[in-house]
């Protein structure tokens, strides 16, 4: 059969299908179909959104994660009302997406680069953690939050997501010192933010006492040793035996993630803390081979996009809009605290390390975006209840974090593009 004949047959079949389906599949009928359809139907619709929305928003120079949030809002009770936002399947995908997100964050940390510039990375990490933390605490205190919630709010501003790293790589700056130092600082800020989260949750759920704090820190120390030292020790021996068999290696890696998450819950830590530690632990064990690629592919193509869609799915748009309107000063203060805190940290570190102004501003722009990990921590804190049923942070804070995520994920890469272009054109890179 010739190619032209196949095309004619395909065209005729498509026209016949359209003539049959279009009169029946009106928008109202389609909406009713997905509302009352099978889980497979809704899963298919979800995959269509994951496939289409991120490229569409990236074409508009907006973050792809924002497109996934918008898709979730469209599917949710505030718009099309497809499915049950409290269903068990929704909860499962939310949990898996959250731990995969933090696991891949730990997996992507380049520990060799961190060791190469460990003193400067540690120095910048300490400053870019402490100053936004202090700024966030001050904002929380100014708006009459309790001290525990204030420190949690501060920790939300202290970490960062390197959205601008692909831009630096594209311009040939991925190995420059300022980029390497900022990348290394991510290790410190992420770990420190999760430790603050662990302590704040413990204080919120069981109350503060020096004894309970000491017990919590002791449990955390033992847990960290078991995960960060025990998993690599076990992993090396497993790799020696199964290095040429991808399926056992893949399953071993996923089990490391899940057991670390379960272990964290066993000592009253959050599963995202265990997931991040597991990512750090197996980082070098599995290297940069096919197993690592498959883990990242599974997370970034399915579970992590589902996480963002479900966040939007559960978002109550009228309440979100009303909260922002009534709490606009708080939202503005949170955004300003992040921008100024990260800027002050970059300026201080740049002065100490002898960097030029463009290099310093490059560090600032790279450390601005607050996306995946920040949203996961905020959601965890929001879902944490004490004995009286009180949340660790309010819905106002959670909604403010979503605004912060959108603002910084747009502003950060734009500024990185600008400063990286300057560094490339002038050769002004350490």
What would the 3-class secondary structure string for 324-379 be? HHHCHHHHHHHHHHHHHHHHHHHHHHHHHHCCCHHHHHHHHHHCCCCCHHHHHHHH
417: closest CA among 187, 186, 173, 185? 173
Q: Span 15-29, mean pLDDT? A: 69
At 72-96, the pLDDT tens digits run 888 888 777 777 766 777 778 878 8
Confidence of residue 21 (pLDDT cuts 50, 70, 90): low
At 332-345, the pLDDT tens digits run 999 999 999 999 99
Answer for the pair 405, 214: CB distance below 8 angstroms, yes or no. Answer: no
- The strand pairing partners of 385, in sequence order, are 391
- The strand pairing partners of 391, in sequence order, are 385
128: closest CA among 370, 309, 293, 312? 370
* pTM: predicted TM-score of the whole model, two decimal places: 0.72
At 287-318, the pLDDT tens digits run 667 788 888 888 888 888 888 888 788 777 77
Q: What percent of the chain has pLDDT over 70?
A: 90
pLDDT score recorded for residue 111 = 66
422: closest CA among 167, 108, 218, 206? 167
Give the integer Cα–Cα distance in Å for 18 and 252. 47
Tally Cβ neighbours within 10 Å of residue 235: 20
Q: Span 128-153, mean pLDDT? A: 92
Write down the residue that tokens 């311009």 correspond to: 171
At 394-409, the pLDDT tens digits run 888 888 888 888 788 7
The helix/strand/coil state of 385 is strand
Answer for the pair 360, 120: CB distance below 8 angstroms, yes or no. Answer: no
Give the integer Cα–Cα distance in Å for 181 and 179. 5
Output the average pLDDT for the chain. 81
At 95-107, the pLDDT tens digits run 888 788 778 877 7
pLDDT score recorded for residue 24 = 64
pLDDT score recorded for residue 324 = 73
Using the predicted structure, report yes or no on whether residue 369 has a pLDDT greater than 90: no
At 238-280, the pLDDT tens digits run 877 877 778 888 888 888 888 888 888 787 676 777 887 888 8
DSSP H or E segment with residue 269? none
The helix/strand/coil state of 314 is coil
Look at 269 and 159; give whichever has higher pLDDT. 159
Q: What angle do CA 154, 412, 98 make, to 5 degrees?
A: 60
DSSP H or E segment with residue 1? none
Q: Span 114-124, mean pLDDT? A: 78
The helix/strand/coil state of 156 is helix
Using the predicted structure, report yes or no on whether residue 430 has a pLDDT greater than 60: no
Q: Tell me, which fold does domain 86-420 have in CATH?
A: Na+/H+ antiporter like fold (1.20.1530)
pLDDT score recorded for residue 129 = 92
Q: What string of DSSP letters covers 62-110?
A: S-HHHHHHHHHHHHSTTTT--S-TT-HHHHHHHHHHHHHHHHHHHHT--
187: closest CA among 112, 131, 264, 97? 112
At 204-229, the pLDDT tens digits run 887 767 777 787 778 888 888 888 88
250: closest CA among 204, 202, 214, 282? 282
The helix/strand/coil state of 391 is strand
pLDDT score recorded for residue 16 = 76
Show me where the domains of the chain are located: 86-420
């Amino acid at each position: 059969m010739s190619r032209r004949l196949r095309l004619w047959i395909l065209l005729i079949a498509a026209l016949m299908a359209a003539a049959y389906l279009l009169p029946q599949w009106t928008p109202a009928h389609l909406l009713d179909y997905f509302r009352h359809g099978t889980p497979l139907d809704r899963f298919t619709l979800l995959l269509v959104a994951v496939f289409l929305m991120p490229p569409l928003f990236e074409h508009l120079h907006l973050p792809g994660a924002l497109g996934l949030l918008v898709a979730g809002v469209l599917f949710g009770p505030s718009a099309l009302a497809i499915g049950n936002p409290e269903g068990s399947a929704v909860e499962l995908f939310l949990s898996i997406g959250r731990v995969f997100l933090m696991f891949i964050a730990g997996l992507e940390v380049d520990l060799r680069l961190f060791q190469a510039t460990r003193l400067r990375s540690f120095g910048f990490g300490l400053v870019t953690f402490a100053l936004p933390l202090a700024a966030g605490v001050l904002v929380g205190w100014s708006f009459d939050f309790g001290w525990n919630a204030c420190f949690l709010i501060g920790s939300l501003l202290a970490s960062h997501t390197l959205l601008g790293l692909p831009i630096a790589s594209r311009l040939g700056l991925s190995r420059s010192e300022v980029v390497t130092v900022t990348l290394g600082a991510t290790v410190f800020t992420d770990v420190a933010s999760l430790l603050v989260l662990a302590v704040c949750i413990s204080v919120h759920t069981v109350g503060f006492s020096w004894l309970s704090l000491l017990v919590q820190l002791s449990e955390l120390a033992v847990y960290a040793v078991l995960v960060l030292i025990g998993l690599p020790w076990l992993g090396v021996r497993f790799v020696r035996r199964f290095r040429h068999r991808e399926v056992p290696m893949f399953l071993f890696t996923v089990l490391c993630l899940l057991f670390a998450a379960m272990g964290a819950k066993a000592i009253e830590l959050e599963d995202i803390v265990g997931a991040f530690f597991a990512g750090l632990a197996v980082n070098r064990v599995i290297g940069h081979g096919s197993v690592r690629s498959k883990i990242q592919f599974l997370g970034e193509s399915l579970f992590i996009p589902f996480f963002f869609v479900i966040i939007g799915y559960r978002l109550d748009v009228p309440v979100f809009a009303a909260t922002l309107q009534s709490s606009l000063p708080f939202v503005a203060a949170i955004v300003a605290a992040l921008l100024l805190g990260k800027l002050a940290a970059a300026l201080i570190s740049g002065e100490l390390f002898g960097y030029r102004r463009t290099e310093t501003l490059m560090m600032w722009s790279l450390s601005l975006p607050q996306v995946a990990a920040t949203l996961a921590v905020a959601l965890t804190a929001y879902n944490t209840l004490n004995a009286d049923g009180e949340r660790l942070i309010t819905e106002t804070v959670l909604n403010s974090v979503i605004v912060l995520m959108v603002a910084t994920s747009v502003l950060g890469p734009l500024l990185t593009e600008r400063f990286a272009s300057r560094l490339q054109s002038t050769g002004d890179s350490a």
